[in-house]
A and B are shown apart, each in its own frame.
Chain A
Amino acid sequence: MPTQSNQPLPDGYKLLDYRIDSVLSCGGFSIVYLAYDVNDQPVAIKEYLPSHLVLRREGDVLPSIADDHVATFRYGLKCFFEEGRSLARLSHPNVVRVLNFFRANETVYLVMRYERGRTLQEHIQLRRGAISENFIRHVFAQLLNGLREVHTNRLLHLDIKPANIYVRNDGTPLLIDFGGARQTLAAEGDGPGKKMLKPMYTPGFAPPEQYRDRQRLGPWSDIYAVGATIHACLAGMAPQPADKRMQDDKYQPATRLWAGKYSRQLLETIDWCLELNHLQRPQSVFGLQKVLLRQREPMVRSPAGLLGAMQSRLLRFAGALGASSKA
């Protein structure tokens, strides 16, 4: 991984009304801290600090920005604002809650409610991919409530992946890291956005239209990433990246890989979300949720011919609804 050479703020540092406790994570664009507010309540603070543009040296608080990076740094602020704006509009138990937003130390900070738990990525690593169907259904049925709220607000997340799904200790999930909003900005017009912003995508989780055809982005794009994320829960790794799939698709249907280990209905849902053609995926979160929320009923065989036949995907999906697992 590229070396992170930006120094975090020191533990104990007073930032506005907050006291920095420790670093939670160091990413390429930001550092996330655990801090405490005036009431001694824990918060998570995200500091905009793109490591390829600015450098904060040991012992310094202010980052230094090379002259030729000042403009890019400032432009990148827009993306960070976009993340703040998206989150400020959203108020949902399955979406991380933003509490404050301010400027200090020549950069900006996003304060979030601190959540106890761990990312889905860590869950996958701990269980080495062998995540149970019950856990998956439980987590995703709720997470999709959050995603629905995002889409209802005419926003797309565009960076759904195990590392950006946080599971509280009580088992309820939430979406974090709306940094993917960078993309919506980049897609707007060709002016500076084209030049300045790095359209971000995560190989394996990003759908084909995120690589090109960005005007085709829609709820189905987040749905592809949801499919890839569930896939990762089973496989322990992301599926083949969409750009590679477009050239030479090595994707093996989940229905084949895990037959008998997970319900057919769940496996078909994964394959459905991971259709390369965006029109062939579930078009809204609602449809997807219906399947996941459905009780795992006693086995009802779907008509044999139905699945194999060249039916529309919707029909195929309806078939899947009828099918169920051997619990």
Chain B
Amino acid sequence: MKFSIFQESRLGARKINQDRVGYCYSRDALLMVVADGMGGHLNGELAAQIALQYLTELFRGEARMRLGDPARFLHHGLNDAHEAILDCVRTRNLPEAPRTTCVACVVQDGVATWAHVGDSRLYHVRDGKILSQTRDHSKVQWLVDTGQLREEAASRHPERNKVLNCLGGSRPPQVDLSHRNRLADGDALVLCTDGLWGALTPGMLASVLSRKTLRKRLPTLLDLAQARAGRGCDNLSVVAMSWTEPGATLVDTSTRTLELDEFAHESSAAARMRPKDRDASGDAGAPADTATHPIDRERAGAEANPGYLSDEEIERAIEEIRSAIRRRTPPGAR
């Protein structure tokens, strides 16, 4: 299985990041998850975290190499993640259940299957066009569907944040499951929260998501969404992959070298976006593909550190380099 994958979660203009994103793959199956913890509710990020963790752990448990039935996995996984949130409410005695949206996608045998609750989306992009996408479980989508609101007006509707279906809610979630979607070489799957899609037009999203540019352009796309959203910018998160047909040679990530029950994974740790905790998540396990791996990111305090450089030593080193450059560069040459 060959694909290239990218994920990022940004704070936007908010104080905390309630989005969680992650992916996890074995030799034959890939899982991607995006969850958007709901703001008005207590600990939205807790719900998102539980959903992410629950699904990735279930995946690790079930997919020794491959999942028996991806659709079944997603259906049960999302329903059980809802239960896991309610369990947590009971064990921790929380006054109210935290809630989250969730979209998750499994790729196996060159077929993508996804499921969602709420308004986090999945786009299936081919040749710069959106082939299919999830339909939000939101108030505005319902208004649009029932002819009470024009599609173009949805993004300005005062209740555009209202989600009708979620994990952790008082009613069990209605898990919306996709068909089996066969992937073609170069296809992209993009899972994202409304912080991203809400700030962009569908055209903007689709146009940049061709394979060659995925990794390069996604950060730019996030920048663009942030710029467009300005001061009101919500948390914005994305996991995206582009697919390489077996036989095609380009890869960023090949699962071929993974042992039979080996997994690779990466998820946005709780604290990823909170500066004070950054170190804890600093090495959240780069995916198998990323280039340079520091072997050891152990931090060491000043006392363990006789190699401390003084200002004077720094100045001296710089002067040494500068004079080496001057000596080398013939006069007049740039």
Interface residues in chain A, defined as those with a beta carbon under 8 Å from any beta carbon in chain B: 1-5, 26, 28, 39, 41, 51-52, 55, 57, 64, 66, 68-72, 74-75, 77-78, 81, 84-85, 88-89, 91, 98-103, 108, 113, 124-126, 128-130, 159, 161, 163, 191-193, 195-196, 198-203, 235-237, 240-241, 244, 250
Contact = CB atoms under 8 A, between A and B. Distances in A.
Contacts of B275: 5, 55, 57, 64
Given A3-B9, A84-B321, A244 B257 contact: yes
B324 A55 contact: no
B292 A196 contact: no
B305 A128 contact: no
Nearest to A41: B334
B249 A98 contact: no
B290 interface: yes
B153 interface: no
B294 A198 contact: yes
Interface of B: 6-10, 212, 219, 248-251, 254, 257, 266, 268, 272-273, 275-276, 278-279, 282-284, 286-287, 290-302, 304-309, 314-315, 317-318, 320-322, 324-325, 328-329, 334
A199 B302 contact: no
Nearest to A126: B212
A81 B321 contact: yes
Nearest to A68: B301
B268 A191 contact: no
27 contacts: A1-B266, A1-B290, A2-B266, A3-B273, A5-B273, A5-B275, A41-B334, A52-B279, A57-B275, A71-B300, A72-B299, A75-B309, A77-B309, A88-B321, A98-B325, A99-B334, A101-B318, A101-B322, A125-B250, A161-B291, A195-B305, A196-B305, A235-B249, A236-B248, A241-B257, A244-B257, A250-B257
A71 B308 contact: yes
Contact of A72 (B212, B251, B305): B305
B325 A88 contact: yes
A99 B266 CA distance: 39
Which secondary structure characterizes the binding site on chain A? mixed
A74 B308 contact: yes
A202 B291 contact: yes
Contact of B297 (A52, A55, A103, A236): A52
Contact of A52 (B282, B292, B324): B282
Contact of B320 (A26, A66, A71, A85): A85
Given A28-B292, A163-B291, A195-B305, 11 more contacts: A2-B282, A3-B10, A55-B275, A55-B278, A57-B275, A66-B276, A101-B325, A195-B298, A198-B297, A236-B249, A236-B250
Contacts of A39: 334
A130 B282 CA distance: 36
A2 B257 contact: no
Nearest to B256: A237
Contact of A88 (B251, B304, B328): B328
A74 to B, nearest CB: 4
B318 A102 contact: yes
A198 B305 contact: no
| Residue among B248, B298, B305 facing the most chain A CB atoms (10 A cut-off) | B305
Contacts of A71: 300-302, 305, 308
B314 to A, nearest CB: 6
B221 to A, nearest CB: 15
Contacts of B248: 128, 236
Contacts of B314: 74, 77, 103, 108
A101 B321 contact: yes
Nearest to B308: A71
Contacts of B250: 124-125, 128-129, 236
B321 A191 contact: no
A159 B254 CA distance: 21
Contact of A100 (B293, B306, B308, B325): B325
